[in-house]
Chain A
Amino acid sequence: MSRLELLTPEGLRIDGRRANELRRITAKTSVFSKADGSAYIEQGNTKCLAAVYGPREGRFRQQMQSDLALLNVEFNVAPFSTSERKKRTKNDKRSLEMATFIKQTFEPVILRRQLPRSQIDIYLQIFQHDGGVLQCCINAATMALIDAGIPMIDYVCACSAGCIDKVPVLDLNNVEESSDTPELTVAVLPRTGKVNLVEMESRLHIEKLQSVTELASQGCMQVHKVLDSVIRENTEYLRDRMNA
């Protein structure tokens, strides 16, 4: 592949965004009737479906805790999600790690003490992969949890940011990700601004860390605006239905 210019001197990225712009987010809740809560989100061309079952009686007796709800996250990438078909098993290390990240992100947010001896299952499925999978999953899971009516202290909004030619850029897509751009994913609680997750697997100069993190958390706030409006719309719709 030829060396693409990821960020032009005029400040435009390959897909026409500027450095501090998110991709388009469209989201929808209650897409399944069988699940307790579900959500579908598209962040650009990354598409993710989340289904939440629970709280329900624990299936794994041994892990069950008497005072807390158990959180179980399964993450799966569809073989057709990338341009080259590639099958990943369920126990793929990468998928398991991703699931652990998400689990750890949500454990402190869900009021688990209110639901002792129960279990909450979150199933995440990526349909189309165009960068920013982790953030997309977290956003989808938040929506699905809210849809399921599980008590949480706040939304969890996630967003990634990277650094191209020393310029911090928001919300990397697949092209940008795959050309060795350092990528940092941040998940925050928008009301308090507390950070729930910071994840980065590449090298980034320490001097740039602050500006990149700041940009990512600003992105989270923007994500929150979108998610919140979707949830509100949906709730209003439900309310109208109830009143009708």
Chain B
Amino acid sequence: MPDLVYYDRAERSFFRKTRSNAIVKLVREQYLRGDIPCMSEQCPATPPCQRLQDNTNNSPKHEGLLSLHADHYVIPDMSIVMRYLEILEQEELTGIILSQTIITSLQQHDKMRTYRKLRQIISDTRRNSVVFYNEVFADTRVPRLAGETTSERDWRALCRMADWYGQHLGKPIVLLSEVHTTPTQRMDQQQENSTVSVRTMKQYIDQYWGDHALLQNLAQVLAEAVLEDDLERIRVSSGGKKLEPAVSGYTEYKPMEELEAGIKSSRYFSGTLRCRSGTRDTAYVNGGQKLEKDILIISSENINRAVHGDMVVVELLSENNWMTASSTIAYGGTTEDEYEETRLTRNVNLTHPTGRVIGILNRNWRSYVATIQEDTPSNGLFHLAIPLDPVIPKIRIRHHDVKLIQNQRIVVRIDSWPTSSQYPNGHYVRSLGPIHQLDTEVSAILVEHGISVSQASQGFSEASLKEMPEDSTSHPWKPEPNEVARRKDLRSLTVFSIDPPNCQDIDDALSVRDLDNGRMELGVHIADVSYFVKENLLTDLEARARGTTVYLADRRFDMLPSVLSERVCSLRGDVDRYAVSVLWTLDSKTFQVLDTWFGRTLIRSSCEMEYEQAQQLLDGASVATNLSVSLSQKLKPNVEKLATVLRAMRQQRLAKGALELESSSEVKFKIGENHNVTDIIPKDGLEIHGLVAEAMIMANSYVGKRIYDGFKDAAILRRHPPPNAGQFEMLVKAAESKGYRVDFSSNRALALSLERIVKNSADDPEIPRLMKTMATVAMNEAGYISSGHYAVDQYFHYGLALEFYTHFTSPIRRYADVVAHRQLLMCVQDDVAISDRQNKGTSMTEDSKVNDICDHLNLKSRESKFAQRDSTELFQSLYVLQHTTEGSPLIESGVIAEIRSNGFYVFIPRLGLKGPVFLIDRHGQPAVPLSLQSGNSDHDEEYLPNCTIDVSIPTNISVQTATLPHPIQFNLFDHVRVSLKLRKSHAHRHMVYMTLVDLEHTQITSVPMSKDTLMKTVMESSNNSHNNNEYHGDNIEGGDNSFLSSATAMSKQEIETRRQLKKNKKDQGSMYDFLEQFRKMSIAACSYNNTKNTD
């Protein structure tokens, strides 16, 4: 038990207004300590003062101490933190000492976001920045004097702290401040140690970073920027009178207390504001449990200066203003977040409450990629920048020479949004390059998705590369002898990897062999990344920050240095490699798992197989292409045995209710010279893909279970929450329109329903594919969790039907797997892992740390997914651009994937592309191409005159005109032929859109029927053939009447059933086309015949 180490006790008292407006005095104790460490490597005390803390506190020590080599340390004050946070965030700045004075001040003024950002700087050990608790340190505490303002006292506190640091370390200390220029007179009037100097940000940058253009520029623009706080001050100083009139209905936000009281009393609602893509003037906020609906916020007055992503407070408008959400396809938008999109459009027919933003809890502004508006006059100081992301409003930026940044993608940030301004004020940060150049657009994608500069430049710091093992042609890497002795040696085992062609980073390999007495052993061997990347090494921190390798269409941004990812860790053929293996002992008949072994091994892969080759061996070929005869012969039995085992495993898992889902739009690009996209190939799934995946799923789930057993409250797991009913509405309706029933009561039921759809629509493989995509989109996202943060029954992985799941099999490209490796190795008492833990401590077993990592990784993997999607879109548009310029239109056949109120989305399987087809143009006029009637594709820019459009979401849209005998029906999953066009844009990426060329009528009739109804239909149609002809061209009503007349002997009751049937038909909307209407009629007649017979 430690002795009491505080020197003295002080009290801090202050007054506070309570909710009932009473003023109370609060008294807080403050213990003054003597053991606050200076956190510098240069500490002159012996032992260094941070040691003192390590002895008393056994938490893992802070790694990023103030560097010994830095030539100065920086202490920012409040004015710097508020205005120049962005500069402090720049990675070049190191050695920042953050004072407790600032932290408390930020917390008191509800600047939690700023605080969190500062914390991020501190926790990034590469920045060598620390927090110093000057307020609780006996030597640096400054009590407030009578009549002194808090800011004066804070400044004195900072000066005192700077003095202390200067004396303690003898290093130049730079105090940064915008408001103060001299340190207050010191207690000891000596001036001979001028280690402390006061600088404004500009002076500081000029002095220390004179040649750094980016910092120079930032300092300048930030100095000019008008921040939210300035607005506040201006408003307060002008005594509540508005300096400038508010424009366009913007109003001031309500005071914070009122907002919080309102939220507590459920009068107001708070949530994250989301805008629908392309329609900036419609936003919505999740209404939470009380409303169970989204709150729509329509028009920019009501959005009231909030930006997509902000935490806002919303007041509901009166009920007669409530309305239904629009489900139009945005003109000129890109497909945004599909999850959000479907969330909103799913229950379109509901009336949504509407609201108005009356306050902001938290701004969530980030860096935005934008382009200066076209044809802006080149004189003038202020310019409008149009962000790439269509949900962000235009940003007013100040730049002295706009010509320099015209026609370029630039990075901008928002500073403030006063009521007097139509658009938010921001500032220019840097330029990415000329618009529509591939490299510019790719870096724009990276910036938009928050992928760090260091990852984008593929770089690793020199210090981090020094940590890496050496592997060159002259000195190839070899396993160390004592490691060889320690590991289980599996080099004699036949191990092989199966990967896509030209795969550099092979993280997994497989093995299978027979054991004696009717058992066999299945092995999954994963690259031992955690052996090389020890916790808290620079490489580890960098990899943690990156989170995942980002794969774009034409390039890849690695998580680990290439010496690891492509060489030392990669499980290449015919070389000894370290691995972490999972070995299952199976019963060779029932394939029951009898025993599982986890641990570090040494393997030698006999072959780097490609999927194609493995599939060939599996299909019976004795020799696979590009594989030697002996190797083929050696591997063939292994591959076959593996396939048998894994098929069995797959069946077991499917029986438990696992879903077989796929993402429909995975495509590969063939890229020729000069970034020419020569072709787009959909990724096709071979059986072997599924089998390898099965092995990985199995390894992941066993590891998940094992680490959960080892660390109940801190295991890194991957969970997939089950969906709720509302999420499947779209899918159910879509399936109904094709005559299927989807049961989503459990994952097993859903799997069965989907399986049925696959079986019954063998003639059209796109239908199940689209349905599966719809199901995938409807479901929740899977994510990493720390088991301590969730209840045990929430670990379940819905999609895979597994109780425990984690990511373990790709440590080269995912950081989560590295964490899982470390946890697993600690669980199985691996010597190296245990000794590492003892020597350096680990945070991999602390729930809060693991949870932080999980949150970060979830964010990173989502962003990387979106980046990947954006790059796919970029390349698709490039493909369309390159293939339409030759004069001939690019005509493709596709499937209607989604019906919206002004058109529909068409999915083109060949290109993996989903694009909108508008039937109503942006002025609300119907625009149905003439080509539908004429069948001539040249007419797709001319429109049918006088047509009316009737939409029933989500399954059908019909076009009626005077010139056509009957309406043209567009049903969900109909096949259409479209012409791909590119909408060129200055401020955005080019967007692919489509115009309708033709309906492929042949597919419409493929309505599934059960066997007996089919027979009845045939029977009935032969009976009533003369009637049928009438039905064809007629509407339902007419058909019904003529049927009535033909069936004269009908009882009243039967007329009633007929009515019922008709009503049903109406309820379901016009989702059946003519043939289907006819079919129903004949079934009805059939049932009528049957009832007559039974009578």
Interface residues of chain A, those whose CB is within 8 Å of chain B, are 2-5, 8-12, 14-24, 44-45, 83-84, 130, 165-166, 173, 175, 205, 207, 218, 221-222
Query: What are 18 A-to-B residue pairs whose CB atoms are below 8 Å?
Result: A4-B107, A9-B123, A11-B59, A14-B28, A16-B31, A18-B56, A20-B2, A21-B6, A21-B31, A22-B4, A23-B29, A24-B9, A45-B11, A45-B27, A83-B27, A173-B29, A207-B712, A221-B1
Contacts of B112 in A (CB 8 A): 2-3
How far is A12 from B2 in the complex, measured between Cα atoms in Å? 15
How far is A175 from B107 in the complex, measured between Cα atoms in Å? 15
How far is A26 from B133 in the complex, measured between Cα atoms in Å? 26
Tell me if B457 counts as interface (CB < 8 A to partner A).
no
Checking A19, A21, A83 against B25 with a beta-carbon cut-off of 8 angstroms, the contacting residue is A83
User: Are B6 and A17 neighbours in the complex by a CB distance under 8 Å?
Assistant: yes
How far is A207 from B711 in the complex, measured between Cα atoms in Å? 11
Interface residues of chain B, those whose CB is within 8 Å of chain A, are 1-2, 4-6, 9, 11, 18, 22, 24-33, 53, 56-57, 59, 62, 103, 107-108, 110, 112, 119, 122-123, 131, 133, 135-136, 712-713, 788, 846-848
User: Are A12 and B136 neighbours in the complex by a CB distance under 8 Å?
Assistant: yes
Interface centre among A15, A19, A84 (most CB of B within 10 A): A15
Known A8-B131, A11-B59, A45-B27; judge A166-B848 contact (CB<8 A): yes
User: Are B28 and A15 neighbours in the complex by a CB distance under 8 Å?
Assistant: yes
Checking A10, A45, A84, A165 against B29 with a beta-carbon cut-off of 8 angstroms, the contacting residue is A45
Checking A9, A19, A24 against B119 with a beta-carbon cut-off of 8 angstroms, the contacting residue is A9
Nearest A-chain residue to B32, judged by Cβ: A16
> In the complex, given contacts A9-B122, A45-B29, what are 9 additional A-B residue pairs having Cβ atoms less than 8 angstroms apart?
A2-B110, A5-B107, A8-B103, A12-B133, A15-B31, A16-B133, A24-B31, A83-B25, A83-B26
* Shortest CB distance B454–A (Å): 24
Nearest B-chain residue to A173, judged by Cβ: B29
Which 8 A-B pairs have CB atoms at the shortest separation, nearest pair first?
A: A16-B136, A16-B31, A83-B24, A15-B29, A2-B110, A44-B29, A24-B9, A83-B26
Contacts of A8 in B (CB 8 A): 103, 131
* Shortest CB distance B845–A (Å): 11
How far is A20 from B5 in the complex, measured between Cα atoms in Å? 11
User: Are A16 and B6 neighbours in the complex by a CB distance under 8 Å?
Assistant: yes
Checking A2, A16, A173, A218 against B108 with a beta-carbon cut-off of 8 angstroms, the contacting residue is A2
How far is A20 from B11 in the complex, measured between Cα atoms in Å? 21
Contacts of A23 in B (CB 8 A): 29, 31
Main SS of chain B's interface residues? Answer: mixed
User: Are A175 and B28 neighbours in the complex by a CB distance under 8 Å?
Assistant: yes
Nearest A-chain residue to B260, judged by Cβ: A1
Contacts of B713 in A (CB 8 A): 166, 205, 207
User: Are B110 and A16 neighbours in the complex by a CB distance under 8 Å?
Assistant: no
How far is A165 from B789 in the complex, measured between Cα atoms in Å? 11
Nearest B-chain residue to A215, judged by Cβ: B1
Contacts of A11 in B (CB 8 A): 53, 57, 59
* Shortest CB distance A210–B (Å): 13
How far is A166 from B57 in the complex, measured between Cα atoms in Å? 15
User: Are A21 and B62 neighbours in the complex by a CB distance under 8 Å?
Assistant: no
Checking A4, A5, A16 against B30 with a beta-carbon cut-off of 8 angstroms, the contacting residue is A16
Nearest B-chain residue to A19, judged by Cβ: B57
How far is A17 from B133 in the complex, measured between Cα atoms in Å? 11
* Shortest CB distance B72–A (Å): 23
Interface centre among A2, A4, A11, A45 (most CB of B within 10 A): A2
Contacts of B135 in A (CB 8 A): 16
How far is A17 from B22 in the complex, measured between Cα atoms in Å? 30
Contacts of A9 in B (CB 8 A): 119, 122-123, 131
Contacts of A21 in B (CB 8 A): 2, 4-6, 31
* Shortest CB distance A87–B (Å): 15
How far is A21 from B604 in the complex, measured between Cα atoms in Å? 55
Nearest B-chain residue to A5, judged by Cβ: B107
User: Are A166 and B788 neighbours in the complex by a CB distance under 8 Å?
Assistant: yes
Contacts of A24 in B (CB 8 A): 4, 6, 9, 31
Contacts of B25 in A (CB 8 A): 83
Contacts of B1 in A (CB 8 A): 20, 218, 221-222
* Shortest CB distance B931–A (Å): 61
Contacts of B62 in A (CB 8 A): 10
How far is A209 from B33 in the complex, measured between Cα atoms in Å? 29
* Shortest CB distance A183–B (Å): 17
Contacts of B788 in A (CB 8 A): 166
Interface centre among B6, B18, B53, B56 (most CB of A within 10 A): B6
Interface centre among A5, A10, A11, A83 (most CB of B within 10 A): A10
Nearest A-chain residue to B62, judged by Cβ: A10
* Shortest CB distance B304–A (Å): 24
Nearest A-chain residue to B56, judged by Cβ: A18
How far is A44 from B605 in the complex, measured between Cα atoms in Å? 66
Contacts of B107 in A (CB 8 A): 2, 4-5
